């Protein structure tokens, strides 16, 4: 094969392999192993504990779909919380909405923020915006201490290992409901239906017990396990499938459109079976 190759083992028996130009930085932080590498195919890429977190080439899909689906669903999103998201990609998308007055990021690992600013400036470039409050801390605890505070909460976490395990618990979703205003919306990345179907079913069941409107939507992200990625949205009042045409203002995106907004909720049967 020639050259240096990196394989992320996505299951015990399956992985994704990419050719590396150079390693930019590697460090064992207080929470996880952080690696920043330059790849031939996907540009600079961040790994945490050996898992692809984001890459320069395909990051727009994930970040746009986390941010714009709930922000176009809510009629007036002003105060936003991102749990995790230290790479800044979700923040960059949030700030495209003129109604947003303040966006708070709470990431447990300050090193993710530091090295994303250094090596992923196209993703992290908006973390220094005046509307953004960057906090290094435990998102689980931040949620637990918040009440009736946010219009939209976005959980931009790693897979449920290490420090992120609590971010997939029913208690966390109950805390999110309390931290949201009475018409609030939350969204979380919920992994993929090919390799983690049980996770999706469990999250859907837990969120449905707390939020009157619970839906799953999908996007195609080539560097994430299986390429088919799921997001779970829980809403107290507004249904993402009933957004009026007048809500969609012009926005600079590469993946998200008002048609994708609705189409993303159309699920293949095997995925729909996980939800019901």
**Residues 58, 109, 156, 191: which is the catalytic one?**
156
Give helix 197-208 / helix 170-179 axis angle, nearest 10°: 40
- Whether 156 is catalytic is yes
C-alpha pair distances (Å), 248 with each of 21, 24, 113, 245: 41, 40, 31, 6
CA distance 233 to 65: 11
Hey, which residues are catalytic here?
Answer: 156
């Amino acid at each position: 094969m020639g050259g240096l190759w990196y394989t992320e083992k996505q299951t015990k028996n399956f992985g994704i392999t990419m050719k590396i130009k150079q390693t930019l930085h590697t460090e064992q932080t207080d929470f996880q192993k952080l690696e920043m590498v330059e790849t031939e195919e996907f540009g600079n890429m961040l790994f945490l504990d050996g898992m692809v977190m984001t890459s320069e080439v395909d990051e727009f899909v994930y970040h746009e779909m986390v941010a714009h689906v709930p922000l176009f669903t809510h009629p007036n999103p002003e105060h936003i919380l991102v749990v995790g998201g230290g790479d800044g990609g979700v923040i960059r998308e949030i700030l495209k909405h003129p109604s947003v007055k303040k966006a708070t990021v709470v990431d447990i690992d300050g090193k993710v923020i530091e090295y994303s600013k250094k090596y992923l400036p196209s993703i992290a470039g908006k973390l220094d915006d005046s509307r953004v409050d960057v906090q290094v801390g435990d998102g689980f605890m931040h949620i637990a201490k918040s009440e009736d505070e946010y219009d939209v909460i976005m959980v931009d976490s790693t897979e449920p290992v290490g420090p992120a395990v609590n971010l997939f618990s029913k208690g966390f979703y109950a805390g999110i409901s309390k931290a949201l205003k009475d018409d609030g919306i939350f969204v979380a990345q919920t992994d993929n239906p090919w390799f983690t179907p049980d996770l999706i079913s469990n999250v859907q069941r837990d969120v449905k017990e707390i939020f009157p409107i619970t839906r799953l939507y999908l996007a195609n992200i080539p560097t994430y396990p299986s390429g088919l990625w799921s997001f779970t949205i829980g809403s107290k009042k507004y249904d993402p499938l009933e957004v009026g045409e007048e809500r969609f203002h012009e926005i600079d995106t590469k993946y998200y459109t008002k048609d994708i907004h609705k189409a993303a909720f159309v699920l293949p049967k095997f995925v729909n079976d996980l939800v019901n």
